[in-house]
Homo-oligomer: A and B are copies of this chain.
Amino acid sequence: MNTAIFGAGRIGKIHAGNLVRQPGVTLKVVVDPDAASASALAAQHGATTGTIDGVFADASIRAVVIASSTDTHADLIERAAAAGKAVFCEKPVDLSLARARDCAAAVKRAGIACLIGFQRRHDPTFAAAHARLVAGEIGDAEMLIVTSRDPGAPPVEYLKRSGGIFKDMLIHDFDVFRWILDDEAESIHATGSCLTDPKVASVGDVDCTAVTIRTKRGRLAQINTTRRAAYGYDQRFEILGSKGMLQAGNHRPTEVSSWTDTNVSYDKPEHFFLERYAKAYALEMAHFFDALAKGAAMKTSIDDGVKALELAEAATVSWREKRIVTF
């Protein structure tokens, strides 16, 4: 199966590397406005560089991976829908909820397969926790606590275009919330603060947040995030159920411990998402092509992308207007 990828940056490289390991899948074309990046990635995997128009005109290309900048996602999804090509698209669908909804409608009308890149659902630890919950190990889920902390804030230039912390960073946590509790929000309360760098406030954003969601079935979820955890990338959640609790913990680079006259120490968590979710990205790509081959549903549909965005938008409103938002 021939494929093309849009975007040859950090995440594009990851997806391309995973894509070429899928049996029977060929990376035919790499597209990136930065010609040097496109050439380098194409050369690495025996592909050629190309253009957006070229890709959509190429009938031999059956699936596209969208790993380009956020503002291109919706256009590319809609063109893929029009061209009848399957889509693997990085989150988010779009920063505008209306646009994302239109996009989802286009995808449905066209009937194309479309996966939105919430890679955490594919992480072995997170997926095992989910599977064990579904299998009944801790009874009915009652409460979910999500800890989601980045090791450091991106540049302010990035923040300006990011849509704000709720759409840029917590969108993953909102998806985790929906996936784990298999429930929808009845109301949401979000607050935030700018504590790490005044530049974040200068672009109208916050760098740490505290969110509470009450679900339609009365369950409670809390999410806490920061752009800067000095000890690295902290990705945990815990599910309290009627019969126990499941915790999904951090991963460490090695299992060495050091016992000295000061303390007993272990490695910090994996540095950032590329390390922490390396397996998740590989499994996500394998799932995409496996589901495509079987005509099965994608684990994270474009609807999931829209619904996570709805929560992000409601959280933004809750924070800005200092009020609880009810759905």
CB distance from A185 to the nearest CB of B (A): 12
- A249-273 CB contacts (< 8 Å) to partner B: 249-251, 253-269
In the complex, the count of this chain's copies comes to 4
Instruction: Give the shortest distance, in Å, between A209 (CB) and chain B (any CB).
Output: 7
Whether A220 contacts B210 by the Cβ 8 Å rule is yes
Stretch of A8-16, A69-77, A97-105, A142-150 contacting B (4+ beta carbons < 8 Å)? A142-150
Assembly CA distance A241 to B124 (angstroms):
29
Give the segment of A84-92, A176-184, A224-232, A298-306 that binds chain B.
Answer: A224-232
Q: Given A242-B230, A323-B324, A324-B189 in contact, is the A264-B267 Cβ separation under 8 Å? A: yes
User: For residue A194, which residue of chain B has the nearest CB?
Assistant: B218
Interface residues as binary, A112-135 with B (CB distance below 8 Å gives 1, 0 otherwise): 000000000000110011001000
Contacts of A322 in B (CB 8 A): 187, 324
A247 interface neighbour in B194, B208, B257, Cβ under 8 Å: B257
Q: Which of A's residues lie within 8 Å of B, judged by CB?
A: 124-125, 128-129, 132, 137-140, 142-143, 145, 147, 149, 187, 189, 191-196, 208-210, 212, 214, 218-222, 224, 226, 228-232, 234, 240-251, 253-269, 322-324
